[in-house]
C-alpha cells in the first residue's frame, strides 16, 4: 500500500521525447509537472546510437545525449523528474490516483501517458550485443547509415514490406527473411516487394545468428524446409516483427485498439477518461519517430493546460 500521498496538477508517466516535451510545455505554463521516468529513462532513444533525422542537430547526435538534453531542458523550467515505475492507476474519479513503486500515491488533476512502445525482438544474444551496431528495429531511423550496402530484414507483415521497400531505395540489396511460405502483409504490399529487383525474399527462413564482433558482418539463416543453414554477408540487420505498446497497466481503463495502442479523440490527445491524455508511441503505431512523438507531447501539454483552465483548476 502507498505510504504517502502527494497532490499535483500534471503527472507525466514516461520520459521519451513525448514525455519530456510535454514536461517542457507544462512547466513553462506554470503547471509544475511531475514526471516519472519509468523503467527505461529516455525511452527507446537511449538504445539508439546516431540520430540524424531530428531537426536542430545538423551534425547528428547520439540518442542518449539527445534525451539528456531534453531532460535538462524540462528541469530548467521546473519539472520535477523522478525515477520510478507506475504500478497501479485508478482513474474512476477526480483527482486521478496513481501509485508509484507500490508505495507513493499521487493524486493528479491531469495525467499525461507517454509510456512509449518497445520493439519486439527475436531473442538472440547476438541481436542484443550488436543492437545499435548494425542491428536496428527502425529502417526509417537507421537505413541511411547502410546506403549502398547489403542488408537483411526479418518480418512478413505490412511494416516489414514497407521497411524493405524503403531500404531498397538506398541499399544495394535487401534480403527479406520470411519464416513461412507466405506473408501476413496485404496483397498490394506483397506485390511491391516481390516486384522490386533489389529485394530477394527468402521463404521458410529463420535467423540462427547475427555474425560479427563489433558490427554486423553476416547473418546465418536456417531453411526450415530443406533443413540447411547458410551465411549471407550483410552489414545491416533490421527486425520488423512488430512493436508492443507499454500500456498494460491501463488495460480495461483506457480505450485501446486490438494491439494495445491507446485510442485518442481525433485531432487531440484526449482519451476516453476525462483529464487523461496520451502521446508518443503509446498511441502511435504508424509513424513512431522522435519528432512526431515530441509533437504529440506538445499537444498533450496544451490539452492538459486547456482542460485545467476550463475546470478552473489553475
Taking Cα atoms as reference points, which of 35, 237, 53, 26 lies closest to residue 146?
237
Strand, helix or coil for residue 236: strand
Taking Cα atoms as reference points, which of 3, 118, 129, 141 lies closest to residue 61?
141
Q: Measured between alpha carbons, how far is residue 83 from residues 38, 228, 298 in Å? A: 7, 48, 22
CA distance 136 to 263: 27
Q: Measured between alpha carbons, how far is residue 263 from residues 92, 110, 286, 306 in Å? A: 18, 17, 13, 20
The separation between CA 262 and the C-alpha centre of its own chain, rounded to angstroms, equals 13
CA distance 255 to 264: 8
CA distance 192 to 195: 5
Spatial CB neighbours of 73, under 8 Å, sequence gap ≥ 6: 20, 24
C-alpha cell at 48: 539508439
Strand, helix or coil for residue 124: coil
Beta 80-82 vs 61-62: how paired, if at all? unpaired
DSSP state, 258?
T
Q: What amino acid positions are annotated as catalytic residues?
A: 138, 141-142
The residue with cell 509537472 is 33
Amino acid at each position: 500500500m502507498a505510504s504517502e500521498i502527494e497532490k499535483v496538477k500534471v503527472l507525466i508517466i514516461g520520459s521519451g521525447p513525448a514525455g519530456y516535451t510535454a514536461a517542457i510545455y507544462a512547466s513553462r505554463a506554470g503547471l509544475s509537472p511531475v514526471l516519472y521516468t519509468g523503467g527505461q529513462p529516455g525511452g527507446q532513444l537511449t538504445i539508439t546510437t546516431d540520430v540524424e533525422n531530428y531537426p536542430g542537430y545538423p551534425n547528428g547526435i547520439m540518442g542518449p545525449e539527445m534525451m539528456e538534453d531534453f531532460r535538462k531542458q524540462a528541469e530548467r523550467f521546473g519539472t520535477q523528474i523522478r525515477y520510478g515505475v507506475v504500478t497501479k492507476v485508478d482513474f474512476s474519479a477526480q483527482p486521478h490516483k496513481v501509485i508509484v513503486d507500490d508505495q507513493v500515491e499521487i493524486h493528479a488533476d491531469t495525467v499525461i501517458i507517454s509510456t512509449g512502445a518497445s520493439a519486439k525482438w527475436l531473442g538472440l544474444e547476438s541481436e542484443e550485443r550488436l543492437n545499435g551496431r548494425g542491428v536496428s528495429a527502425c529502417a526509417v531511423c537507421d537505413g541511411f547509415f547502410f546506403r549502398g550496402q547489403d542488408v537483411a530484414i526479418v518480418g512478413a507483415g505490412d511494416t516489414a514490406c514497407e521497411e524493405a521497400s524503403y531500404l531498397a531505395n538506398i541499399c544495394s540489396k535487401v534480403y527479406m527473411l520470411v519464416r513461412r511460405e507466405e506473408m501476413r502483409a496485404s496483397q498490394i504490399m506483397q506485390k511491391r516487394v516481390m516486384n522490386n529487383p533489389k529485394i530477394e525474399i527468402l521463404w521458410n527462413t529463420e535467423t540462427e545468428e547475427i555474425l560479427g564482433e563489433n558490427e554486423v558482418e553476416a547473418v546465418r539463416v536456417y531453411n526450415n524446409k530443406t533443413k540447411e543453414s547458410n551465411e549471407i554477408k550483410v552489414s545491416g540487420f533490421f527486425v520488423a516483427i512488430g512493436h508492443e505498446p507499454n500500456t498494460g497497466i491501463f488495460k480495461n481503463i483506457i480505450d485501446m485498439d486490438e494491439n494495445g495502442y491507446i485510442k485518442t479523440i481525433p485531432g487531440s490527445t484526449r482519451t476516453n477518461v476525462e483529464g487523461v491524455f496520451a502521446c508518443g508511441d503509446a498511441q502511435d503505431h504508424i509513424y513512431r519517430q522522435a519528432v512526431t512523438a515530441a509533437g504529440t507531447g506538445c499537444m498533450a501539454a496544451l490539452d492538459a493546460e486547456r482542460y485545467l483552465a476550463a475546470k478552473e483548476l489553475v
